Amino acid sequence: MQSAFEVAHLAAGGPLFFGYCGREREKMGSLVLRDVAKYFDGVAACSEINLTIAEGEFFTFLGPSGCGKTTLLRLIAGFIRPDKGSIYLGGRAITHLAAERREVGMVFQNYALFPFLTVFENIAYGLKIQKKSKAEIRRAVGMYMEMMGLDGFEMRRISQLSGGEQQRVALARSLATEPKVLLLDEPLSNLDARLRDTMRMEIHSLQKRLGITTLFVTHDQTEALALSDRVALFERGCCEQVGTPQEIYSQPDSAFVARFIGDTNLFAARISEGRATLSGGLIFRLGSSKRKGCFVSIRPQDISLSMIPPSGPNIFCGTLKESQLNGMWVTHSIEVAGHIFRAVVLNTRTGSLKMCPGASVFLSIPEASITVLMR
């Protein structure tokens, strides 16, 4: 376990960076994990992980606390070694390389900045360790300070900065040493909601502009969907599914994925002959779907509501239990044959339904919006 100083030293470009600032950036290369596993006291923190992250990709490790995503990040950075498997960066095996030889940069959740150094000195720290000339350091620090909107902050102390400004310093410090891969360990979790949204877009824009391979760890599905080229979703040390945000959201492989990514109506069901039967005798028509399973998932926005019975398949009459205003959306909870369905309606002045609890309402659920899941 590293001390606070050692963590800051590593993040700033001590043994976490083996840099090459001042010369043309080498090809970053892809990152490959093959059968990677790590155990603590006999318990698997991550197990049989096989992933390939493409050069220049923004790839997110997503999942609840304790699912193994930060352990994987630390394995890639070189803080810990795997008990099994191999890690490759740009075709080079780095599994047993010392951290300082991996050309990997990391921004920690608490940023790990040196409080006794100025902003300029924090960003320059890794470059000094790399023994860059004063001219190279001034040039690199100036470039990344301008890139991160930190002009005029050179002589400020870390204690004089806001949370968003501290995050920009941490990013600038990591990027100044030009790593092949940038690792971001929940860097937005300490920011308030509005600033988090702003910084999310700034990180996305910066990553695309630089084209640096980036691994982002979060438990926040909104961050993962908004930022990522692809997402790996973890549960209890195992990778449940890998795909684009749209694939993960629209085509979940399991009930866990459907529940974790966005909101959904998830019901145990018996699937037979193009129909899904729920307890209480409620039946969905599935159309031409031949997928087998034991759950059905329906996103709330795919359910249409009306006060008069519409035409089409999967029309049900239910009773409104409650409505919640969420600003842009109104979430309605409707009971149908003992099952609670959540449906969302856009909150417009003319289009939203005006209903009171106890009112009868009709639900329309398109066949194509019903996803059948095996587990």
What single string gives the DSSP state of each residue in 44-84? EEEEEEEEEEPTT-EEEEE-STTSSHHHHHHHHHTSS--SE
pLDDT in tens, 171-219: 888 888 788 899 998 878 777 777 788 888 888 888 888 889 999 999 9
Report residue 356 as tokens: 């009171």
Q: In whole angstroms, give the CA distance from residue 216 to residue 224.
A: 8
Q: Looking at 244-289, which runs of residues are DSSP E strands?
A: 265-268, 270-272, 275-277, 283-285
Instruction: State the span(s) of the chain assigned CATH 2.40.50.100.
Output: 263-373
Q: Is the pLDDT assigned to residue 50 strictly greater than 90?
A: yes
- What is the reported pLDDT for 13? 53
What values do phi and psi take at 128, rounded to 5? -65, -40
* CB-CB contact of 267 with 247 (8 Å): no
pLDDT in tens, 260-311: 998 999 999 999 888 899 988 899 999 776 677 899 999 999 999 999 889 8
State CA 6 to chain mean position distance. Answer: 27
pLDDT in tens, 125-173: 878 877 888 899 889 888 888 888 888 898 999 888 888 888 888 888 8
- What is the reported pLDDT for 48? 93
- What is the reported pLDDT for 167? 82
Query: What secondary structure letter does DSSP report for 188?
Result: T
- What is the reported pLDDT for 26? 40
pLDDT in tens, 63-73: 998 899 999 99
pLDDT in tens, 72-116: 999 999 999 999 999 999 889 999 998 878 888 888 777 778 888
- What is the reported pLDDT for 196? 80
- What is the reported pLDDT for 284? 93
* CB-CB contact of 264 with 298 (8 Å): yes
- What is the reported pLDDT for 23? 32
Question: In sequence order, which residues have a C-beta less than 8 Å from that of residue 90 and are 6 or more positions away?
Answer: 27, 28, 29, 30, 180
Mean pLDDT of 221-230: 92
pLDDT in tens, 323-370: 998 888 999 999 999 999 999 988 887 766 778 899 999 999 999 999
**Lookup result for tokens 């339904």:** 353
Q: What's the CATH architecture for 263-373?
A: Beta Barrel (2.40)
Q: Tell me the whole-structure pTM to 2 decimals.
A: 0.82
- What is the reported pLDDT for 9? 52
State which of 27-31, 42-46, 129-133 shows the largest mean pLDDT.
42-46
Q: Is the pLDDT assigned to residue 22 strictly greater than 50?
A: no
pLDDT in tens, 155-164: 999 888 888 8
Instruction: State the span(s) of the chain assigned CATH 3.40.50.300.
Output: 4-250
Question: In sequence order, which residues have a C-beta less than 8 Å from that of residue 229 and are 6 or more positions away?
Answer: 54, 57, 58, 59, 244
pLDDT in tens, 236-250: 999 999 999 999 999
Q: Which of 298, 227, 247, 221 is nearest to 63 (CA)?
A: 221
- What is the reported pLDDT for 62? 95
Assign domain 4-250 one CATH number from 3.40.1160.10, 3.40.640.10, 3.40.50.300, 3.40.190.10. 3.40.50.300
- What is the reported pLDDT for 173? 86
For 38, 127, 275, the CA distances from 173, given in Å and listed in that order, are: 29, 9, 57
- What is the reported pLDDT for 353? 72
For 39, 81, 155, 177, 300, the CA distances from 19, given in Å and listed in that order, are: 31, 22, 25, 5, 48
Q: In whole angstroms, give the CA distance from residue 16 to residue 150.
A: 24
